[in-house]
Structure 1
Amino acid sequence: MEDLPWGTDAELTDAQFYNREQDIQIIRTLLESTSKGSPPTIMIIGIRGVGKTVLLKKIKRELEKDYLTSYIDLSATSGYQRGKLTEMGIIEHFYSTWLESCEKKGFSTILKKVSKFFKTKNFGLKDIVDAGGLPLPIPQSEDDYKKLSKFVLDLPQLIFDDHKDKIKGSIIIIDEFQALNDLGENLDSFLWFFRSVIQNQKNVAYIFSGSITSRDEMIEKIAGHSGAFGGRMLNIELKPFTKETVQSYLLEKLPSLNLDESGFERFYKCTQGIPFYVNTFAKLLQKDIHLNEKKVKEEFYRTLPFLAVHLINQWSRLTFHEQNIVTTLIDQPCKRKEIAEKLNITPGSLSKPLNKLQKLRLIESKNSIYHISEPILKAWLKNEYQEKGVFPFRSM
């Protein structure tokens, strides 16, 4: 039976899920130490599309019977979507998500503690907003913010203390944590404050997950020896599937896909073993026909706009200046000075756009040399240029 998900599926059934048994076993073993009063703080990283979110949601499903589990997607916060992410906005999101998890578990006593806290604390208020159906005060001063934030961050431990006869601990998954970069100069202070509160919690495990690689400078800010968590985070990097795994996966999940040896080699080169592209490309390929290298290559360019749709959306939101920077890297990686020379601008004027493009994970810098980090975006741009004689700087 063919049961291949789309690459865009954020949650898979157990039948659709494939491989990662070792990763799941390691993460579950670490998390289960929470019940013994020794909760881990874990960082799971990997390139975009490698399957972090579906892995985390599977682990959440498997553990939610025995633990209070919360999944928080920082990129889904209204502040991030509007380009105005704030520390208070993050705290609001934590608050509503944790109380929603309590509601699903049928834990109502924590709501009394929330109400009591707001009634007994002397807050200076700017406003009161609705957060998951409950009122959340927006504090007037920095001191008020710290009191409220500490209370909210302590909630998972308070929930466990109230319901230790029903759960083994609390597990908090914070996905797309690279969104914290939007805090700018406030990032370090937020991370240090966050750590100062949670480090004394004995029954709450935290998982940070994000679409970055081990080379990203944000890793140092969070998990490095000089970072907020002082090297105490347990780092796990999800890798793309190997050739052998992809071949077994396709044979099991999509037997109607008739790839010969050369066709499979080209398929793997096109997808690089990244599950998002493996699933999407395999679903779009013609079935029950002979697929050799030439045919797979033709199919790749035919389906490229579908494979690259999320990247095309990102591309369309870039400024003309930012797009120009990306196109200078099409043929080969360049140093900042070389990019400036190609664009006839000063190297200093590249700082801001280069930082933005790196935050968007469209380009990377290694040894001060910049390159396009998304091969599918690169392929789409090259194909557009070959077909039309110009890069797609503007669209109607």
Structure 2
Amino acid sequence: MEKLPWGTNSQLTDDEFYNRTDDIEHLKNFLETTSLGTPPTILLSGIRGIGKTALLKKIKNEMDSDYLIAYLDLSHSYSYQIGELDEIALMQYFYTVWIDSCSEKHLKRFIPRIKEYFQKNKFYFEKIIEFGDYPIPIPEIKDDYSGILNLVLNLPQKIYEENQNQIKGVIMIIDEFQVLKDLGKNLDSFLWFFRGIIQNQRNVAYIFSGSLNSKDTIIEKISGKTGAFGGRMLTFPINPFTKETVKDYLNERLESLNFADDGFERFYSCTKGIPYYVNTFANLLPKNISLNDKTVKQEFINSLPFLADHLKQLWGGLDLVEQKIITTIINDITERKKIANELNRTSGSLSRHLNKLQNIGFIENLGNGKYGISEIILKAWLKKEYNDKGVFPYRIP
């Protein structure tokens, strides 16, 4: 039976992957300069569901035979999940992923030498414990983290130097890097420290990827004119598919889906060319019947609980103030002062909540103190819930 990959699937086969040919070629061309001793630092940005992770994993698969590639999804790190992300926990995650990548690449010759590397390092360790086949350093003074940051961030260059007869270079992919905002007031110092170390590495490329829009504050901190990597980072936006690309994709991969002209226009309006929603909604639509504007609109409304499934957990994790900010601006762009008045709070007390909602991509600051909802499916799902039940789902059972 004909079926597209579901939007939740980020590990696509070659047959499932579609288009992005130019993006892949350009990214690979940049990354291959690593073998020449001129590695790039790349910022890959795009909204949630645009297909960044699938793209990065495809590039990893295509370059894996020649390079050591470590892929980190910071949102999956244990310390982030329990709300305790700090620099030490971050380095422990980096370290573990590097060593796992070495093992998968069968670069085991390097692993026994890590202890020697630790001992030569000026940073003192309380102890070095064994975990599986490799050692884990435990810092003597938890607050003194500069040594372990130096050690872990210099590891990839050391790995290359020990194995340059087997690999052309090393690539680190840091996905969902907006998670670093959990470092709070330490974010700027961490980014500058990171940059200070890796700018001298000759054989290690870095890709920072995140679900964020061009106005996100962390973009300015990392690649803006006064940011840690300002002027030294290649910015690479991943855009939604065009109407023509979506039409060609559906005609080629799902021939049983039959749109009238106005039906396809409605489909594209509902999905905005975002692959996650294109795939999910197309799979849910009835097949082998003519789909006009009215039919697609009704099917979209019916499909919203499925289309918004990945957003419900994020919504449920918001506090009541954050949820009410969203429902206050759900119908129109709204000034911060008006939001505060609606919630009977001071404008200043909303800062933390507004920042969180921007960090997860639910709202955006449109300038002049005005905010709007940026996650279109969340907005549509909330409106449906209100229309059906007369109340927004502030508490999801």
Q: Do these two structures clear the TM 0.5 threshold for a shared fold by scoring above it?
A: yes
Q: Taking structure 1 as the reference length, what is the TM-score of the superposition?
A: 0.96
Question: Which residue matches 2:318?
Answer: 318
- Say if 2:284 is the partner of 1:281: no
Question: Which residue matches 2:386?
Answer: 385
What's the offset of the Cα at 1:128?
Answer: 5.7
What's the offset of the Cα at 1:141?
Answer: 2.9
Structure 2 residue runs of 5 or longer lacking an equivalent are none
Q: Which amino acid aligns with 2:330?
A: I
Cα separation, 2, equivalents of 1:107 and 1:285: 48
Q: Which amino acid aligns with 1:393?
A: Y
What's the offset of the Cα at 1:89?
Answer: 1.1
Instruction: List per-residue Cα deviations over 1:68-112 (Å, max 9, x = no partner).
Output: 111111111100111111111111111111111111121122112
State whether residues 123 and 144 of structure 1, in contact with CA within 8 Å, keep that contact through their aligned partners in structure 2. no
Q: Which amino acid aligns with 1:257?
A: L
Instruction: List per-residue Cα deviations over 1:40-70 (Å, max 9, x = no partner).
Output: 0000000000000000000000001011111
Show the 5 A alignment for 1:238-317. Answer: 238-317=238-317
State whether residues 44 and 207 of structure 1, in contact with CA within 8 Å, keep that contact through their aligned partners in structure 2. yes
RMSD, matched Cα? 1.7
State whether residues 97 and 132 of structure 1, in contact with CA within 8 Å, keep that contact through their aligned partners in structure 2. no
Moved more, 15-24 or 344-353: 344-353
- Say if 2:165 is the partner of 1:161: no
Moved more, 2-11 or 184-193: 2-11
Question: Which residue matches 1:208?
Answer: 208
Q: Secondary structure at the match of 2:259?
A: coil
Question: Which residue matches 2:88?
Answer: 88
Question: Which residue matches 1:99?
Answer: 99
Question: Which residue matches 1:376?
Answer: 377
Cα separation, 2, equivalents of 1:387 and 1:127: 59
Q: Which amino acid aligns with 1:87?
A: E
Question: Which residue matches 1:171?
Answer: 171
Show the 5 A alignment for 1:98-177. Answer: 98-121=98-121, 124-125=124-125, 134-141=134-141, 145-177=145-177
What's the offset of the Cα at 1:126?
Answer: 5.7
Instruction: List per-residue Cα deviations over 1:247-274 (Å, max 9, x = no partner).
Output: 0000011111111111111110110000
What's the offset of the Cα at 1:162?
Answer: 1.4
Change (3 A) 1:125 1:36: closer
Cα separation, 1, equivalents of 2:30 and 2:132: 30
Q: Secondary structure at the match of 2:9?
A: coil
Q: Which amino acid aligns with 1:86?
A: D
Q: Which amino acid aligns with 2:67?
A: Y
Q: Secondary structure at the match of 2:69?
A: strand
Moved more, 247-256 or 333-342: 333-342
Q: Secondary structure at the match of 1:248?
A: helix
State whether residues 125 and 137 of structure 1, in contact with CA within 8 Å, keep that contact through their aligned partners in structure 2. yes
State whether residues 125 and 139 of structure 1, in contact with CA within 8 Å, keep that contact through their aligned partners in structure 2. yes
Question: Which residue matches 1:53?
Answer: 53
Cα separation, 2, equivalents of 1:13 and 1:107: 26
Q: Taking structure 2 as the reference length, what is the TM-score of the superposition?
A: 0.96
Q: Which amino acid aligns with 1:338?
A: K
State whether residues 3 and 15 of structure 1, in contact with CA within 8 Å, keep that contact through their aligned partners in structure 2. no
Instruction: List per-residue Cα deviations over 1:285-304 (Å, max 9, x = no partner).
Output: 11112211111111111110
Change (3 A) 1:265 1:106: same
Instruction: List per-residue Cα deviations over 1:201-220 (Å, max 9, x = no partner).
Output: 11111111001122111111
Q: Secondary structure at the match of 1:215?
A: coil
Q: Secondary structure at the match of 2:290?
A: coil
The percentage of counterpart residues that share the same residue type is 56
Cα separation, 2, equivalents of 1:137 and 1:348: 42
Question: Which residue matches 1:340?
Answer: 340
Q: What is the aligned length?
A: 396
Cα separation, 1, equivalents of 2:142 and 2:190: 13
What's the offset of the Cα at 1:180?
Answer: 0.2
Q: Which amino acid aligns with 1:263?
A: G
State whether residues 42 and 234 of structure 1, in contact with CA within 8 Å, keep that contact through their aligned partners in structure 2. yes
